């Protein structure tokens, strides 16, 4: 790897700023001042910047308790981005693993490991995602039974060519439901309830696969996943 690229990937510097730091004599390789941006580093080379040893940022896996009013996007817009809540070096490299809309809260995963993210979100794997939904109007009795059966069979969503995959709807009471889906369509949970004539007022994701939101995390808080948790996918 070129030295200027190493500097940009191990610090907050851009490649151009890294080159300036080199020209100012702020960088040493193996204890000797180095000014050549194009120098190729060996695996065991020791690089310091103003006396501080630098190391490349490895792959990260993060669990965030997403609060309301946060977007799952890399572009800056009207709302804060999920990655802006993560206090890690080069946090802008983190990508959300799937998405939650601005109003939806709960478990959100972020990573810079594209292969791992694909395993979590791949439709072929059908990774279960569990949501708690608060409904606008009561769903009970025979209507609730029909809804459970309809969700288990698959719901026709407006604009989609195929019905949803079978899902598991559990009514906790007349206004609160737990829904397990096995795919990740656009606004899927909200659209499914809309298709049966209801409206989701509050939506919260509890789990993805075998990974459940850490109850110790308040909205907006995050932690890195353990090796065991990463290996769940």
Residues involved in catalysis = 101
The residue whose two tokens read 């572009």 is 75
Question: How far apart are alpha carbons 59 and 226 in whole angstroms?
Answer: 12
Distance between CA atoms of 109 and 189, rounded to whole angstroms? 18
Helices (H) and strands (E) in the chain, counts: 6, 13
Cα distance between residue 176 and residue 126, in whole Å = 24
First CA to last CA distance, the chain: 30
Whether residue 9 contacts residue 90, with contact meaning beta carbons closer than 8 Å, is answered with yes
Residue 4 has which token pair?
């200027």
The 10 Å CB-count burial string (b at 16+, else e) for 62-83 is bbbbbbbebbbeeeeeeeebbb
State the Cα–Cα distance between residues 73 and 76, nearest whole angstrom.
8
User: What string of DSSP letters covers 72-138?
Assistant: --SS--SS-BGGGG--STTGGG-EESS---TT-EEEEEEES-HHHHHHHH-TTTT--EEEEEEESS-
């Amino acid at each position: 790897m070129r030295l200027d690229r190493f500097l940009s990937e191990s610090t907050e510097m851009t490649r151009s700023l890294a080159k300036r730091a080199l020209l100012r004599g702020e960088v040493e390789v193996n204890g000797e001042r180095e000014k050549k941006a194009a120098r190729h580093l060996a695996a065991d080379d020791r690089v310091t910047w103003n006396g501080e040893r630098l190391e490349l940022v490895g792959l990260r896996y993060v669990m965030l308790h997403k609060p309301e009013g946060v977007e799952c996007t890399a572009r800056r817009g009207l709302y804060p981005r999920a990655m802006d809540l993560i206090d890690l070096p080069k946090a802008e490299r983190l990508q959300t693993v799937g998405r939650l809309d601005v109003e939806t809260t709960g478990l959100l995963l972020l990573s810079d490991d594209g292969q791992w993210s694909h395993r979590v979100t791949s439709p072929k794997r059908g990774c279960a995602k569990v949501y708690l939904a608060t409904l606008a109007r009561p769903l009970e009795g025979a209507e609730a039974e029909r809804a459970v059966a309809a969700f288990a069979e698959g719901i026709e969503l407006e604009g989609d060519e195929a019905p949803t995959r079978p899902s598991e709807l559990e009514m906790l009471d007349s206004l609160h439901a737990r829904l397990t889906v096995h795919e990740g369509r656009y606004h899927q949970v909200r659209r499914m309830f809309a298709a049966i004539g209801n409206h989701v007022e509050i939506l919260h994701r509890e789990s993805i696969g075998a990974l459940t939101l850490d109850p110790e995390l308040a909205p907006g808080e995050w932690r890195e996943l353990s090796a065991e948790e990463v290996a769940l996918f």
